[in-house]
């Protein structure tokens, strides 16, 4: 028991026994004493009311929280982190439209999360398998680069586009060989360009379902963060495309590029 991972919560050191507790690094509702759990729910539910612009008095809030605490006995395995997600996503209607903030709505959020998202969340936090690292010689690396570059350059010559799945490969090869800009200003400009591309694509797309609407909303949120991998990968794609367009306008540059990588 002493080897179990632990977490500090409510002024206590709580061992994480179940798989879900360990992956979410959060205790399950069933192992929290009732008073601490009630305080947690009062805070969580009051914040939800506040975010939705709904007023609730202290007595009603405590009564709702106490009743919802009893409902949680149906979900003893649910962790506090997951419960927070249920409310965070639920009030935004990502789990479907709801009518009023009440115990029934809160239970519906939990049900939706468990039925549709919990397994995916658990799998995302699954520790990666430790694979035996195989060494690769410089000659093997060179052959892999030559093979990949031949496919990419042949494909671009015919389609004037990047071979699917090879964007980051091309970026890394060209960047390491000094073909791409390394200054911060160019990188920031590329991020801005990528953001504009996403915004244009989104503005011209009409969602046909609630799921597509949520995906568009999520993309808009992601591209506001310059650290977003979605934005960074698009920026890299634009940089590679610009380099290839400029190179393929000049026959001598094309020849030099193919000689360098293909021979």
Question: What digits encode the pLDDT tens for the residues 59-70?
Answer: 999 999 999 999
Q: What is the pTM of this model?
A: 0.50
Q: Is residue 130 part of a domain?
A: no
Query: How many domains does the structure of the chain reveal?
Result: 2
pLDDT-derived band at 1, boundaries 50, 70, 90 = very low
pLDDT at 132: 67
- Claim to verify: residue 163 and residue 233 sit in the same structural domain: yes
Q: Is residue 148 part of a domain?
A: yes
- Claim to verify: residue 78 and residue 180 sit in the same structural domain: no
- Claim to verify: residue 145 and residue 255 sit in the same structural domain: yes
Helix count (H) and strand count (E) of the chain?
A: 12, 2
- Claim to verify: residue 157 and residue 238 sit in the same structural domain: yes
Residue 165 backbone phi and psi in degrees, to 5: 90, 0
Using one digit for the tens of pLDDT, what is the confidence trace for 169-191?
A: 999 999 999 999 888 888 889 99
- Claim to verify: residue 120 and residue 180 sit in the same structural domain: no
pLDDT-derived band at 72, boundaries 50, 70, 90 = very high
Using one digit for the tens of pLDDT, what is the confidence trace for 109-161?
A: 999 999 999 999 999 998 887 766 677 788 888 888 889 999 999 999 999 99
Using one digit for the tens of pLDDT, what is the confidence trace for 195-205?
A: 888 888 777 77
Residue 14 backbone phi and psi in degrees, to 5: -110, 120
| Beta-bridge partners for 79 | 28
Query: What CA–CA distance (Å, rounded) separates 176 from 187?
Result: 15
- Claim to verify: residue 142 and residue 255 sit in the same structural domain: yes
**Residue 135 gets which letter from DSSP?**
P
């Amino acid at each position: 028991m002493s080897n179990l991972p632990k977490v500090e919560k409510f002024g206590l050191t709580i061992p994480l026994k179940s798989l879900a507790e360990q992956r979410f690094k959060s205790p399950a509702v069933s192992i929290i004493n009732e008073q601490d759990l009630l305080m947690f729910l009062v805070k969580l539910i009051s914040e939800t009311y506040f975010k939705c612009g709904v007023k609730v008095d202290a007595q009603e809030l405590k009564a709702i929280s106490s009743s919802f605490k009893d409902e949680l006995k149906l979900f003893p395995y649910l962790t506090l982190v997951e419960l927070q997600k249920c409310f965070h996503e639920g009030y935004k209607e990502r789990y479907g439209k709801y009518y009023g903030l009440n115990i029934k709505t809160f239970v519906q959020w939990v049900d939706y999360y468990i039925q549709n998202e919990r397994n995916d969340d658990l799998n995302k936090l699954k520790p990666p398998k430790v694979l035996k690292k195989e060494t690769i010689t410089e000659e093997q690396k060179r052959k892999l680069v030559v093979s990949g570059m031949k496919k990419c350059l042949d494909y671009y010559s015919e389609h004037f586009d990047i071979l699917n799945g090879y964007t980051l490969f091309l970026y890394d090869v060209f960047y390491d060989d000094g073909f791409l800009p390394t200054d911060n200003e160019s990188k920031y400009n590329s991020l801005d360009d990528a953001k504009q591309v996403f915004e244009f694509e989104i503005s011209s797309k009409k969602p046909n379902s609630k799921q597509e609407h949520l995906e568009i909303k999520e993309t808009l949120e992601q591209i506001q963060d310059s650290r977003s991998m979605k934005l960074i990968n698009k920026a890299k794609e634009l940089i590679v495309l610009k380099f290839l367009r400029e190179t393929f306008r000049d026959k001598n540059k094309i020849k030099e590029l193919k000689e360098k990588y293909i021979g």
